Amino acid sequence: MKRVLVVTPILALVLLLVSCTAWTAADWKLTLTQGVWQWGTFYWLNSQQSAYAGALKMKVEQYDSAHQNIIATYYKWMYCIDKAWYDSTDWYERVQGGIPYNNIPTLTEEKWARKVWLTNRYGWESWLDTEKAAGLQLAIWEVITDDTLDLNTGNFYVVSGFSTGAINYANTLLSVVQPASAAEIAADVYYVNGQNMNEIPPIPEPFTLVLATLGIGTVAGLRRLVAR
């Protein structure tokens, strides 16, 4: 008798994640260059703590295996995935398409998929506004720790300090969040070394097209003015 493997959507997602996960050695150095954030107090997994919540602009340097020569340098906006806030330059591993189970005990595939969905759709615009940056960070912390998305109760909840605008923005995101696609999860990039720093994905293509159109219109307008 031949056995047939039935591939369900969940199994397909797992297989894709396993096949696409790419870890690198700890040859990446992250240095904080700018922050858009708010300071506040929250409850996280049986302890109350205070920290900044928001977007971080990081200088990312890739070194060779001896940590002597820089191979590449670029800048990326990022968010802390877990409660361990970035506080110094350090060596990181770069991961694409993986899930950091070891660092976050409450993490599940569904929670991670929600985190990816949030950063893919709202990460690129959040660093333009302090309340949006703090609100997205709070929403990320909430979706990776709780099944019920509520900033007032559960394993993660806000105590004080964060603005009403940031909390309202977080609640708006939590009301619409859903799991990301398998392709989005496979493309997700983060850096890990005790804490997890998540890259904000590039600007979505439709927005890029709008910027390009505006640019073309501006150039055309300037040419008309010069012609006059």
The verdict on residue 216 lying in a domain is yes
Give me the pLDDT at residue 9, please.
42
| Number of neighbours of residue 110 by Cβ within 10 angstroms | 11
Residue with tokens 């995101």: 173
Residue type, 80: C
Identify whether 69 is part of a domain.
Answer: yes
pLDDT for residue 86: 55
- CA distances (Å), 13 to each of 16, 128, 182, 203, in order? 5, 33, 6, 25
SS3 content of the chain, % helix, strand, coil (to 5): 40, 30, 30
Euclidean distance between CA atoms 76 and 110, whole angstroms: 26
pTM of this prediction exceeds 0.85: no
Number of folded domains in the chain?
Answer: 1
Residues spanned by the domain of 80: 26-227
Alpha-carbon gap, residue 228 to 15, rounded angstroms: 62
Residue 157 counted as domain residue: yes
What are the per-10-residue average pLDDT scores of the chain (228 residues)? 39 38 80 93 89 93 92 94 64 88 78 95 91 97 92 94 97 97 94 84 58 42 44
Domain assignment present for 53: yes
Residue 21 domain-assigned (yes or no): no
In a domain, 109, yes or no: yes
DSSP calls for 74-138: EEEEEEESSS----S-EEEEEEES---TTT-TT--HHHHHHHHHHHHHHHHHHTT-HHHHHHHHH
Is 181 part of a structural domain of the chain? Answer: yes
Rounded Cα distance between 172 and 153, Å, is: 17
